[in-house]
Structure 1
Amino acid sequence: MMQLTTLPNGLRVASRAMPGFETVAVGLYAEAGSRHETAALNGIAHLYEHMVFKGAGGRTAREISEAIEDVGGDLNAATDREGTSFSATLLAEHLPLGLELLSDMILHPHFAADDLVREKEVVLQELGEARDTPSDIIFDELWTAAYPDQPLGRSVLGDEDSIAAITVDDLHGWRASQYRAGSLILVAAGKVDHERLVALAAERFGALPAGLIDQAEAANFAGGVRASRARADQAHLTAAFAAPCHPHPDYYPSRLFADIVGSGASCRLFQAVREERGLAYSVWASLTPYRDSGIFYAYAATSRRQAGAASELIFDVLDRASRDLSDRELERAKAQAKAGLLLSLESSWGQANYVARMLSTYDRLVEPREIVAEIDGVTLDQVRAAGARMLAGPKARATIGVPAVRAA
């Protein structure tokens, strides 16, 4: 059973009780990610996520780790383009501790200057590791090509100059402007009593300032090309097209199109590019939705000499798919989508993440059966039409290690 209560300051508190569980997953979800940053402070959302673990509420970084691990729990966080999440998984009896740690990290971070200097070095190491991994960094290049000169097109990690520019005052400013109760969601799933959760939330998060954060700059999928000549053992190819946001009437038809062409060993790209031609080991496609935009993209890693053939085949597969997808392929994609959704809900963390995502997307609690019904209701004509619309729109491409004659 899902339940939702809104505190006087606007914080939404939701829960999903899961009979038979002895554990609880609790997460604080902030609708503030890298697309809310200025260019000068690109990377601050991610660095902020790191810094709250360095000391908060009178505890040092070590003491924070020891407090959660003393009770067998786990504390984690993640930042993406549209949000940041902080989560704790622990035995249900220790839920108050989980909320105490999360609230201290958001309301009472230390932000010591010497910690900031060290953590910037850690983030730079993370950035360097990503740049040394073409299959990771290629997607930053693709997003930059798709959304040029826009916050949505910038790296979540930032770059050397923007990271170096961030100060302690900037971190405090980010917290004050982005961590407002109306744009936060607190969710717990597992062995949880909703009324107790609400009482603990009011105690720990009642001091959060009310209000909403400013809307991020509107996204415009413009398209373009970025080609890196960096030497790599393989050529890395990506192509992207504008896709619907979520929710949007075209979202599920478009997502099912992406799944048919690029998800699993039976998908069209895997069968055509890898199984039939042997042109790539890794080849797939996916769709990522945002609040006001979406991006459908395909990826392949192939040899430098076969990059041209692989690229041509990928575009041919996509084009044919928009015209001749079959009922059998659609039914398979629906089965995979429904199974993926329901399997993700088998854990308390999966349930908490689902509830937060539905609240953020629909601004209400959505039972999984509603999503299953939406998927079941998609027709073959809708999927073909959605695919054709995406492929007819603007296109972005990014490559790494492709010979110059193949990059355009």
Structure 2
Amino acid sequence: MKLTTLPSGLRVASRQMPGIETAAVGLYAETGSRYEAAPLNGIAHLFEHMVFKGAGGRSARDISEAIEDVGGDLNASTDRETTNFTASVMAEHIPLGVELIADLVQRPHFNADELEREKDVVLQELGEARDTPNDIIFDDLQSAAFADQALGRSVLGTEESIEAITVEDLEAWRSDHYRAGSLTLVAAGKVDHERLVELASTHFAALATGCSDTPEPARFTGGDRVGRTTSDQAHLALGFGAPGQSDADYYAARLFSDAVGGGMSSRLFQQLREERGLAYSVYSMLQPWADTGLFSIYAATARRQSAAAAQLIEEVLADAAETITERELMRVRTQAKAGLLMSLESPWGQAHYVARQIQTYGRLVEPSEVIADVEKVDLERIREAGRKMLSGARARATIGFPAVRAA
């Protein structure tokens, strides 16, 4: 891995992969829905949509044809803390990928008529999410976990906030949040680092210097969100405050989550599905952010079995914090290492890994360092991480679920 910081503050990182003839190129922006004011909830995601409507003298069709004429793909995504613009190309077309991404974030053609049309698209996306219980329940859980905070709001926004966004708001968002110090250009695959630095210096010369404002600190509140449905299926999500990505307890907490519900051999899967047949889908996960995290459990079950499923989840969680075994620790530790190494076998896996480490730690972190941290987690640390998460407040979101009292 190589890293260069330009005078503007833009970080340029690369990972060369021998034997690869393609490359993944991405611009990773440290901004997302967590950076939004409440009246503009959804603007980070809408901005990501709007830049593809035309940029740098190219129309939306011109952009699509430019990348697809060379067999490439251009895409983007937005979450609560990051927005990414990405290109997959054959190695000789890296310059085009960098040029297109630079145009998207520096020279978008924001047009009021296009904005109204794209709002309709985003509202359809929001409606589709709300019609899918196992999607929207996680927004409900987030809202309960971080009530009345930016981190608790939906990435997609609301009908009211989306409708209120103007072209001027989009321009201000770009000016405030796409500053060189908050951006990282990453390429992995068949890539020459010095050439990538030259391309970045040329194509991102118009970036404003400085960094985006830091979002407000998050505070786990806990609480309940109850949704109704006429379906025979019931959905439950539980959430607990957890360590952030750079917290010393992060890997212990993550391994605890994996042991509880990270796979077919996990306790939740074995006891709820295999032994009792109470749920078709059940799992846990740990979502880290810069300063906090969320340990969550999800289950989809028949309404008639929902109370029994909820009770058994409580029992599994309470027991796991005291009785996780050395064998379970060894299994999830091995799974974590294998998952990391497997993900790094593709250019996109490498690019995302490099960007994540730079954004979290401000430096390049070799995979061997991550593996060493995972190896350090012993039985007492994983149990203590579980106890710590489960002993605090909790959040709960349900759809089609009867009222369930917390244990």
Aligned equivalent of 2:35: 36
What is the TM-score of this pair, normalised by structure 1? 0.99
* Contact map agreement 1:135 1:236 (CA 8 A) in 2: yes
Query: Where in structure 2 are the equivalents of 1:184-333 lying within 5 Å?
Result: 184-333=183-332
SS in 2 for 1:195: helix
SS in 1 for 2:395: strand
Find the aligned partners of 2:172 and 2:311 in 1 and give their Cα distance. 48
Residue 222 of structure 1: how far off its partner (Å): 0.7
Residue 407 of structure 1: how far off its partner (Å): 7.3
Find the aligned partners of 1:81 and 1:53 in 2 and give their Cα distance. 20
Aligned equivalent of 1:182: 181
SS in 1 for 2:71: coil
Find the aligned partners of 1:296 and 1:212 in 2 and give their Cα distance. 30
Aligned equivalent of 2:370: 371
* Contact map agreement 1:307 1:406 (CA 8 A) in 2: no
1:26 maps to 2:25: yes
Query: Where in structure 2 are the equivalents of 1:148-163 lying within 5 Å?
Result: 148-163=147-162
Find the aligned partners of 1:286 and 1:204 in 2 and give their Cα distance. 39
Aligned equivalent of 1:171: 170
SS in 2 for 1:170: helix
The count of residues paired between Structure 1 and Structure 2 equals 406
Find the aligned partners of 2:90 and 2:405 in 1 and give their Cα distance. 53
Which amino acid in 2 is paired with 1:264? G
Which amino acid in 2 is paired with 1:257? F
Which amino acid in 2 is paired with 1:12? R
* Contact map agreement 1:227 1:407 (CA 8 A) in 2: no
Aligned equivalent of 1:58: 57
Summarize deviations over 1:186-212 as a string: whole Å, max 9, x none: 000000100000000000012200001
Which amino acid in 2 is paired with 1:160? E
SS in 1 for 2:77: strand
* Contact map agreement 1:77 1:86 (CA 8 A) in 2: yes
What is the TM-score of this pair, normalised by structure 2? 0.99
Residue 42 of structure 1: how far off its partner (Å): 0.2
Residue 377 of structure 1: how far off its partner (Å): 1.0
* Contact map agreement 1:287 1:295 (CA 8 A) in 2: yes
Which amino acid in 2 is paired with 1:159? T
* Contact map agreement 1:33 1:83 (CA 8 A) in 2: yes
SS in 1 for 2:235: strand
Which amino acid in 1 is paired with 2:348? W
Aligned equivalent of 2:336: 337
Residue 241 of structure 1: how far off its partner (Å): 0.4
Find the aligned partners of 2:230 and 2:28 in 1 and give their Cα distance. 39
SS in 1 for 2:74: strand
Summarize deviations over 1:322-380 as a string: whole Å, max 9, x none: 00010000000001000000000010011000000000111100110100111111101
Change (3 A) 1:41 1:407: farther
Residue 233 of structure 1: how far off its partner (Å): 2.9
Which amino acid in 1 is paired with 2:134? S
Which amino acid in 2 is paired with 1:206? A
SS in 2 for 1:288: strand
Find the aligned partners of 1:68 and 1:407 in 2 and give their Cα distance. 54
Find the aligned partners of 1:229 and 1:133 in 2 and give their Cα distance. 12
SS in 2 for 1:109: coil
Q: Compute the RMSD of aligned alpha carbons.
A: 0.8
1:143 maps to 2:142: yes
SS in 2 for 1:240: strand
Find the aligned partners of 1:206 and 1:267 in 2 and give their Cα distance. 50
Find the aligned partners of 1:350 and 1:250 in 2 and give their Cα distance. 24
Q: Which moved more, 1:228-237 or 1:116-125?
A: 228-237
Question: Can you give the 5+ residue segments of structure 2 that lack an aligned partner in the other structure?
Answer: none
* Contact map agreement 1:223 1:396 (CA 8 A) in 2: yes
Find the aligned partners of 1:407 and 1:384 in 2 and give their Cα distance. 25
Find the aligned partners of 1:233 and 1:153 in 2 and give their Cα distance. 28
How much identity, in percent, do the aligned residues show? 65
Aligned equivalent of 1:384: 383
* Contact map agreement 1:12 1:184 (CA 8 A) in 2: yes
Question: Can you give the 5+ residue segments of structure 1 that lack an aligned partner in the other structure?
Answer: none
